[in-house]
Structure 1
Amino acid sequence: MAIREELIEELHRRRAAALAGGGKEKIEKRHAQGRLGARERVELLFDPGSFSELGMHVNHACHMPGFASKYLPGDAVVTGTGNVDGRPVAVFSQDFTVGGGALGHMHAGKICDIMNIACETGIPIVGINDSGGARIQEGIHSLSGYGQVFFRNVAASGVVPQIAIIAGPCAGGAAYSPALMDFLIQTRTHSSMFICGPEVIKAATGQVAPIEEFGSAEAHASVSGNIHFVADDDRHALSIAQQLLSFLPPNNMQDPPHLIPEEIPIVPDQGMNELVPDDPRVGFDIYGVLARLLDPGQWLEVQASFARNIVVGFGRIHGMVVGIVANQPAYKAGCLDIDSSDKAARFIRFCNAFNVPLVSLVDVPGFMPGLAQERGGIIRHGAKMLFAYAASTVPKITVILRKAYGGAYLAMCSKDMGADFIFAWPCAEIAVMGAESAARIIYKKEIEAAEDHASREAELVQLYREKFATPYQAASRGMVTDVIEPSETRARVALSLRIALTKRVSRPPKKHGLIPL
C-alpha cells in the first residue's frame, strides 16, 4: 500500500518552508552585505552532499499572545552533522534571518542535542554564532536555555574539540558559549562580541566606548585576547575552521591525523645556521626558524596578534602534527609576561587534552620586569605556564636556540618540567640570569678594583659565559640531551618525535589539578 500523495506533498511543503529560513528577501539582503545565510555556511563548511540535518521541523515553544502563532523555521538554528575532509563533524548555525537568530527554549534544545551527539560519538563541534541574543518573549526559559548550552560546553571541554565562529552579533550572556569553547574565529566585518554594549557602558559609567574599541575582531584579537583568528568574511572563517580541524583528532581518545613517515631523512639544513646573529643581544625573527623546521605550507598560527612575544600554533614535521610554543626575540626580546603566559598555558593545555605533541623553541631572557607586571599578578600568570607544561603527558621536545635564563628557562619546558628530549644550539646560554647581570654580582669587587672597569667587566662577563652558561655545562649534568648544530634541528626533532609518539604516562588519580587561575 503506497503512502498517500497528500502526505508526501505536506512533507515537501514543510521542508521547503524550513529551507527558506527568513525568506528570499532577507537572504538576498545578506548577500548584498557580503554575508552568507545560516544554511549556506553549513554547506560551505562540509564536503559536498555530506550534511545530514537534525531538527528541521522544530518550532518555538512560546505561548505569549501574538507570538505563539508565529512560525520560526527550525527555531532559528540549523543543526546536524557532516564531513570535513572526510571526517565527521557536528555543527550548529544560528539563523539571523529568522527572528534575529534569538535563542529560545527549543533553539537551545537543538544546540544541546547536537552537542550531546558530538560528545557521545566523539566528533568535533563547530558553532556558528549570529544571534540577537535571548528571545525576550520566552522570558526565563531563554536564560535557562543559555545555561543548558554552557553546561554542555563544559561537559564537552577536553572531550571533543570545540570551534566557535562569530559571524554576527554575539552579545551579553550569548558570548559565554564561544568563550567556553577551544578556538574562536571572528569575521572582520558585520560581527561583534561583548557583554555590555556602548549604551549600557555609557549609562553605567559615563564612558563613551565605540564598539570598535572592545567588540570588534581586531580588539579581541590584539587587546583582550578573547579570539584566536580574524577572518575577512564568512568564507574565510569557514576555511580557517577547516584548516584547524585538519590538525586535530576527533576526540581525546584518538591521536591527531599524523602522516607518519616510514623513514626520516637526515639532511642538514645549512640555512638554519645563518639565522642567528653573532651578537646575543640582537633580536631575530622566530618565523625564520619555523619556516625551516616545519613542513612547507603546514603552519597555522593561533592568536597571531595577541601577546606577540610568544608564538603558538599547529604545524607538521615530516607529516607529524605538533603544537609549537616559541619565544619571539623580535618582540619584547621574547620576554614572558602576563598575556604571553596566559596565551601559552591555554594552548599547551589544549594540546595535552587532545594528544598533540609539543615542540618548544626557547630564546627567553626572563620574565618581564616592571611594576605593572608585578601588580598585575605575573607570579600567578607565569605559574600557569609551569603548571601547564608539568601537567602535560604528551611528547615534549625542547630546543634552546639562544638564551634560557632563570624561571623563564623552566617555564619554557626544561627537563625538570618534563621535557622528553632537549636540544641546545652551541650558541645557547642556560643560566640563572644573563651573563652581564650575573658577572656584576659575582665579580663585583674585582670590577670595582680594576682601573678600567668596563674592560674588566667585559672580560668577566665572558668568563662567566664560558664557566657557567654554556650548553655543555647543562649537558654535563644531563639537563640537555644533546648539543646540536642548528642545521641538524629539523632531523633531530623529527627523529625524537617519531620515537615519542608512543609515549604513555600514568599520573596519580585525582579529580583535576588546581591551576593558578
Structure 2
Amino acid sequence: MTGEWQAEVDEIARRRELAHRMGGEAKVARQHAAGRLTVRERIEALADPGSFDEIGVLAGFGQYTSDGELASFTPANFVVGTARLDGRRVALGADDFTVRGGAADAAIAGKQVLAERLAGELGMPLVRLIEGTGGGGSVKSLEDSGFTYVPANPGWDLVVDNLSAVPVVSACLGPVAGLGAARAVMSHLCVLVEGIGQLFVAGPPLVRHATGEDLSKEELGGAAVHRRSGAVERIVGSEAEAFAVIKAFLSYLPSNVDSLPPVVPSPDDPARADEVLLSLVPRNRRKPYRLRPLLDAVFDAGSVFDYACYGGSAYTGLARLDGHPVGVLATDPYRGVTLTAEGADAVTRLVDLCETFHLPLVSLTDQAGMVIGSAGEQRGSIRRGARAITAVYQARVPSAEVIVRRVFGVGGAGITNRHRLVRRWAWPSGDWGSLPVEGGIEAAYRAELEAAENPERLLAEIRERLDAVRSPFRTAERFGVEDVIDPRETRARLCDWVTDAYRVLPKLLGRPSFGMRP
C-alpha cells in the first residue's frame, strides 16, 4: 500500500543520494588522487560508527526543467551535524572540497553559522574539518551575481564567543586560505596534516600578483612554515593521526565551561616512585637532561599530550595525575633553557586554555629567564614574555610547582604566580637567583679579579664560596622554598595535591574572567 506522501518521501531519498555524490565522480577521484579523503569519508573515520546526525543534507543548488522537475543538484560544500567522539556528543562542521574547492560561492552560509550556534547554545565541543577558502569565492562570481558587497564574516560573533564557552578544534586537511584560515586559527587546537595540508592568508596566485613571490602551496603555508609560526599547535603525518589527536585533546577537557574536566580511572599507582628521577639531572650544571623521562615518571602512564609544539625550549602539554587532567609547563634543555618569543606564545596559549576550561597547572620549572641577545630583542621577546607572565598571573586555577633545576630572571620569576598560593617543592638540583652565578661573577668581582696576582685562583675561590651559599638547603632554612624533596617523591606529592585542587574547581565554573583570544 502506498502512503499519501510516498512520492515526496521518495524524493527526499533521491535528493539525499544526490547530496552524497558530493562534487561528482571526477571530483571525488581528483580528491583521492591528491591523497585526501572526501568530506564524508572524514566524518566516517572521525565519528563513532553510526553517530553522525546530519543537518541540512538537502541544502544546495538545483537546476530545474521547464515543468519544475529537478534536473540536477549540486550540494552545498559544507556538511554540518552532531556526532559522538568516543561517546561524547560534539558539533561537527566540515568543508567539501569537491564542490568549488570549498569556496563560499558554493556554500550556504547558514550551515556554517548553525555549526557555531549548535556548539555554543547546546554546550558541546565544536570540530571543524577545514579544506578550501570558505570565503567569498572567485572574482568571476562578481559577474555572476551582478553586485559586490562589504565583507562580513558569517557568524563571526559566534566564532569569537565560542572560544570562551566550548572546546573548539580545527584540522587543516588540504589547502586552507582566507576565511578558512581564519576559522582554523580561531580554535583551541589547530592541527595540520603534513604533505596535504597548507595554511595561508592568500594562495600562490594572489601572493604572486601582490608581492612578486613565486611560491608553491607547500612553500607558502606547509608544515615547514608552520612548525614555528605559532599558527598551528600540532603537525601530524596523516588524516587518521589528525582524528586521533582531536579525540585525545578533547578527552582532557569538559564539554563546556560550565562543567569540570573529566576524571577517569587510572591504573597507574599514584605513589609510583620512578628511580630514573634520582639521577635525571646531572650534577654538572652545563649538562642537559631529557625531558620525556621526567614527564613519563611524574604523570599517569600514557597520558602526556603535547600541546603547542612551536615553543622551542618551552614545553606545553596536557596530562593526568591519578586520572585528573592538568596542564603542564616545562623546559626541554636539549632545545634551550631560556624563554623565547615563540615559547612565551606557547605558554600563553596553554595557560589561557587551562583557565578557560578549569585545568589545574603544574610547572616542572627549569627556567633560565628570557632569551638575551639581538635576535631576542628583534622578536620583541620581553613584551611577549610579559604577556605570558600576565596570563599566569590572571589564571585562577590551582597551581603546583616542582623546581627541577633553574629559576632565574623575569622568566623564572613569572613561570608561576609567586604572589598567590602555589604548592611548591624543590629538588636538590634546584638553582635559583636573579641571574646565574656563572654569568655574573666576572662582572660582580671585576675589580678584585683585575687586582689579583692570580685571577684564576681567586675566581675558583669565589665560585667555591658562592656554591655553598647557593645550596637549596640555605633557601629552605629561610622558608624561601617550602620543601626540598627526594625527586622520586614527585608523583606522589602531585597526585595528593591534585585531589585538593579539584575540590576548589567548582568555584571557578563558568566563563573565564576575560574572553579567550586565538
TM-score (norm 1): 0.89
Question: How do 1:81-160 residues align onto structure 2 when only pairs under 5 Å count?
Answer: 81-104=82-105, 107-133=108-134, 134-136=136-138, 137=141, 147-160=153-166
Deviation of 1:429 after TM superposition, in Å, equals 0.9
Alpha-carbon deviations, 1:295-324, whole Å to 9, x = none? 2221221233x2321111111122111111
Q: CA deviation at 1:326?
A: 0.7
1:295 aligns with 2:300: yes
Check whether the contact 2:331–2:365 (CA below 8 A) recurs between aligned residues.
yes
Post-superposition CA distance 1:412-433 (Å, at most 9, x none): 11523x4521111012012111
Question: Aligned equivalents of 2:87 and 2:299: distance in 1?
Answer: 25
Gap runs ≥5 in structure 2: 64-69
8 Å Cα contact 2:260/2:505 also seen in 1: no
Closer, same or farther in 2 for the Cα pair 1:318/1:141, shift >3 Å? farther
Q: How far off is 1:264 after superposition? A: 6.3
Match of 1:360? 363
Q: CA deviation at 1:194?
A: 0.9
| CA distance, structure 2, for counterparts of residue 199 and residue 277 of structure 1 | 53
2:332 and 2:21 map into 1 onto residues whose CA distance is: 49
Q: 2:437 aligned with 1:435, yes or no?
A: yes
1:393 touches 1:505 (CA, 8 Å); kept in 2?
A: no
| Per-residue deviation, 1:259 | 2.2
Give the whole-Å Cα distance in 2 for the aligned partners of 1:515 and 1:89. Answer: 20
Cα offset for 1:438? Answer: 3.7
Structure 2 letter corresponding to 1:47: D
Which residue of the partner structure matches residue 197 of structure 2?
Answer: 191
**Alignment partner, residue 203 of structure 1:** 209
Of 436-445 and 108-117, the range deviating more from structure 2:
436-445
What do the CA deviations read for 1:406-455 (whole angstroms, capped 9, x no partner)? 21211211523x45211110120121111123433444444344333223
* 1:486 aligned residue: 487
Q: Find the aligned partners of 2:147 and 2:315 in 1 and give their Cα distance.
A: 42
Change (3 A) 1:74 1:201: closer
Compute the RMSD of aligned alpha carbons: 3.0
The TM-score normalised by the length of structure 2 is: 0.89
1:375 aligned partner, one-letter code:
Q
Aligned-residue offset at 1:506: 7.9
Residue matched to 2:27: 26
| Equivalent position of 2:321 in the other structure | 317
The answer on whether the counterparts of 2:164 and 2:516 sit within 8 Å (CA) in structure 1 is no
Contact 1:312 1:326 in 2 (8 A): yes
User: Match for residue 67 of structure 2?
Assistant: none
Sort the Cα spacing of 1:428 and 1:99 in 2 relative to 1 into closer, same or farther, 3 A.
same
Of 201, 209, 212, the residue aligned with 2:218 is: 212
Q: Deviations over 1:48-100 (max 9, x none)?
A: 111111111122599xxxxxx99664411110001111111111011111222
Instruction: From 423, 426, 434, give the equivalent of 2:425.
Output: 423
* SS of corresponding position for 1:147: coil
Judging changes above 3 Å, is the alpha-carbon distance between structure 1 residues 286 and 338 closer, same or farther for their aligned structure 2 residues? same
Query: How far apart, in 1, do the equivalents of 2:248 and 2:517 lie?
Result: 32
| Counterpart position of 1:453 | 455
- SS for the counterpart of 2:132 is coil
Secondary structure of the structure 1 residue equivalent to 2:118: helix
CA offset digits 1:353-382 (Å, max 9, x no partner)? 111111111112221111232233222111
Partner of 2:196, secondary structure, is coil
Partner SS for 2:60: coil
- Structure of higher RCO (CA pairs closer than 8 Å, 6+ residues apart): 2
CA separation in 1, counterparts of 2:33 and 2:114? 33
The residue aligned with 1:234 is: 239
Larger CA deviation: 105-114 vs 436-445: 436-445
Report the secondary structure of 2:402's partner residue. Answer: strand
Q: Distance in 2 between matches of 1:303 and 1:61?
A: 44
**How many percent identity over aligned positions?**
29
Query: 2: distance between equivalents of 1:407 and 1:71?
Result: 65
Separation in 2 of the partners of 1:504 and 1:265? 21
Q: Is the 8 A contact 2:277 2:487 kept in 1?
A: yes
**Structure 1 pair 433–32 and aligned structure 2 pair: CA distance change class (3 A):** same
Is the 2:80–2:111 Cα contact (8 Å) retained in structure 1? yes
Tell me the equivalent position of 1:65: none
Q: Which amino acid aligns with 1:177?
A: R
Following superposition, the deviation at residue 144 of structure 1 comes to 7.1
**Letter of the 1:255 counterpart:** L
Letter in 2 for 1:232: G
Q: Distance in 1 between matches of 2:106 and 2:154?
A: 10
Answering whether residue 232 of structure 2 is matched by residue 224 of structure 1, we say no
User: In 2, distance between residues paired with 1:144 and 1:181?
Assistant: 25
Distance 1:335 1:209 in 2: 34
1:483 partner SS: coil
Structure 1: gaps spanning 5 or more residues: 63-68
- CA shift, 1:106, in A, is 5.5
Looking at structure 2, the residues matched to 132 and 70 of structure 1 have their Cα atoms a distance apart, in angstroms, of: 28
Measured after TM superposition, the shift of residue 392 of structure 1 is 0.7
With over 3 angstroms needed to count, the CA separation of the structure-2 counterparts of 1:207 and 1:419, relative to structure 1, is farther
Q: Find the aligned partners of 1:141 and 1:309 in 2 and give their Cα distance.
A: 51
CA distance in 1, matches of 2:45, 2:345: 33
Tell me the CA shift for residue 273 of structure 1. 0.7
Partner of 2:42: helix, strand, or coil?
A: helix
Q: Which residue of 2 aligns with 1:400?
A: 403
How many residues are treated as equivalent by the alignment? 505
Q: Does 1:78 align with 2:82?
A: no
Aligned residue type for 1:356: L
Distance 1:71 1:307, change over 3 A: farther
* 1:30–1:214 Cα change, 3 Å: closer
Q: Distance in 2 between matches of 1:140 and 1:350?
A: 44
What SS is found at the alignment partner of 1:366?
coil
CA distance in 1, matches of 2:516, 2:46: 35
Spell out, residue by residue over 1:266-293, the C-alpha distance to the aligned partner (whole angstroms, 9 max, x if none): 3432221111111011112212211211
Deviations 1:166-193 (A, max 9, x none): 1122112331111221111111123221
Alignment partner, residue 66 of structure 1:
none
